[in-house]
A = this chain, B = another copy of it.
Amino acid sequence: MLDFTFNIPTELYFGRDQELEVGRILSKHGAKKILIIYGKGSVIKSGLLAKVKTALEEENITYLELSGVEPNPDVSKVKEGLALIRKDPVDFILTIGGGSVIDTGKLISTAYFYDGDPYDISLKKVEATNRIPLGVILTISAAGSEMSTSSVISNSETLTKTGYNSPYNRPVFAIENPELTFSVSPYQTAVGVVDILAHTFERYFNPSSEFELSDGFAEGLMRKVIAAGKVAVEDPTNYEARATLMLASSLSHNGLTSIGKNSYMPVHQFEHIISGYYPNVAHGAGLAVMIPAWMEYYRKIDPKKFTAFAKNVFDYDSGDDLDNGRYATITLKSYFKSLGMPISLKELGIGALDLKRFAARLTNDGKKKLPHHIKPVDNQVAYQIFELALEE
């Protein structure tokens, strides 16, 4: 894969050593003083942060730092960042990391212009109306937040995890060097592969015409990610596999695979209940459990698209139109297992006792129905889907 610049409108700088350009890219966008956000120190150990600081200093860009963002990032870290830049304002935010770091930056960047509780924006009580521009140096291929309009933040006080979309969330640029992901562990790589597939998969199963171009893109993307994911887990320094996952991460969630389609993502809402209660569960692991369960429920009602999925994505043609789409679930579970992913709630340490409160939380105690074109999710459907996830 050659290096390239792409614009959607996030500018994508992709390829070896691209992180060394961060100073020039920020300067081009007029940044003078920025807030750098990162996680738990791997960017220090790897030397990436030092390289970034050198690049900033070469362009006379000064910076504040907010570190220690955790997976399933909490709104308390957003508040910490806001306090920092309210005292000492910045004109740009640079996030170095994956979805957790980027999403923390996104909520800081919009909540800066809102005086109330920043979580009001996550809960869609108020809309974002402005933002501090934000850029990304990506270090893990997973969430797709580097090109997306969404941000997902947890609230440990209320055990809530929720996402919101806003055009103000779209990063100005993303810098992607696949080599920066060589050190991502096989488990975290697999978690990322599931997340990328999930973004694509959810869009794919929304209603579409038989000629839907975005479905063609989605099938192509899933095929390539499935192949590259297996290789990256087994051979972490395979540049081509890492590059495919990194680009797919961005293109799986920027709207391309749902262009001209609804981009509603029901399975993510199921997963957010799980990692909302249990923040130790990686988002991708929760998805690996919930996707097949969701699929198993809906394929029995309307198998057509599930049969196409097995054929066009996994090359699995049963030659049997009456298979009721069951190979979709079988092939997908088998793939997730081959990556070392859990495929049941039990493997996540979650038992039958949780199902009722999960379903109640998802449907707001039965008062809310989640829309779905095959069958909306009421309290009973939610319970049945969580139940299908219980055991392998």
- Chain A contact residues, CB within 8 Å of chain B: 1-2, 4, 6-9, 14, 208-213, 215-221, 223-224, 227-228, 231, 240-241, 243-244, 247-248, 251, 255-256, 259-262
Contacts and interface: CB of A to CB of B under 8 A. Distances in A.
A81 to B, nearest CB: 28
Contacts of A244: 209, 211-213
Contacts of A259: 4, 6, 247
How many identical chains are in the complex? Answer: 2
A248 B282 CA distance: 37
Nearest to A222: B216
A266 B254 CA distance: 31
B217 A260 contact: no
Nearest to A245: B211
A216 B9 CA distance: 22
Nearest to A261: B2
A220 B6 CA distance: 20
Contacts of A209: 1, 240, 243-244
A378 to B, nearest CB: 26
A262 B248 CA distance: 18
Contacts of A210: 227, 240
Contacts of A1: 208-209, 212, 260-261
26 contacts: A1-B209, A1-B260, A2-B260, A2-B261, A4-B259, A209-B244, A211-B241, A211-B243, A211-B244, A212-B240, A212-B244, A213-B220, A213-B221, A213-B224, A213-B248, A213-B251, A215-B224, A216-B217, A216-B219, A216-B220, A217-B220, A217-B221, A218-B220, A220-B220, A220-B221, A256-B256
A327 B9 CA distance: 40
A255 B221 CA distance: 16
Contacts of A4: 259-260
Contacts of A216: 217, 219-221, 223-224
Contacts of A2: 260-262
Given A224-B211, A244-B211, A7 B6 contact: no
Contacts of A231: 211
Nearest to A238: B211
Contacts of A224: 211-213, 215-216
Contacts of A256: 256
Contacts of A262: 2
Contacts of A211: 224, 227-228, 231, 240-241, 243-244
Contacts of A219: 216, 220
A199 to B, nearest CB: 14
Contacts of A212: 1, 224, 240, 244
A390 B146 CA distance: 51
Nearest to A220: B216
Nearest to A227: B211
Nearest to A239: B209
Contacts of A215: 220, 224
A212 B244 CA distance: 6
Which A-B residue pairs are the 6 nearest by beta carbons? A216-B220, A220-B220, A1-B260, A211-B244, A211-B228, A209-B240
